[in-house]
Structures are given as C-alpha cells and as structure tokens.
Amino acid sequence: MKGHDCRTWLGFLCDEADGKKSPRLRAHLPDCPPCRAMLASLKRTVAALRRAPLGAKTPPRLNAVLSRRLRRS
C-alpha cells in the first residue's frame, strides 16, 4: 500500500517480537513485506538482548532505538 507508514506499527512490532500477540498486526503483516522484515530483525534484536548479561528484560529505550533505525531505512 502506497503512503503506508509502518512507524505506526512499531509498537505492535515490538510487542510481537517480545512475545505478545497482536491480532491487528497479524492482519497487517501478510500485506506488508517491510513490516515482516522489520519483525524478523526485531526478533533477532530481542533474542540478542536476552542473551546479553543485562538483557533479561527489553530496555524501554528499544522503541526509540528501533524508531531511529526505521527512519533511516
């Protein structure tokens, strides 16, 4: 879909990567390759954070970091 702003989905993507299911996101993903790619990358990031010594919990700043990264791409 043209003009679609995936940043509006970032919160849902973060939740999904964190293991929380979002039915709205699930409905959106099949139509949106960029969001699917973003989710895959988020899941890798979350997994890496969980493996890190201090990464038992996803830091609150994750959303800001990812938001910056998304704007760049």
Q: Which residues bind Zn ion (CB under 5 A)?
A: 6, 32, 35
Minimum distance, C-beta of residue 27 to Zn ion, in the bound complex (Å): 11
35, 9 Cβ separation under 8 angstroms: yes
Q: At what angle do helices 33-51 and 10-17 cross, to 10 degrees?
A: 50
d(CA 36, CA 42): 10
Question: Closest separation between CB of residue 34 and Zn ion, Å?
Answer: 6
Return the number of the residue (28 or 46) whose C-beta is nearest Zn ion.
28
Q: How far is the CB of 38 from Zn ion (least distance, A)?
A: 8
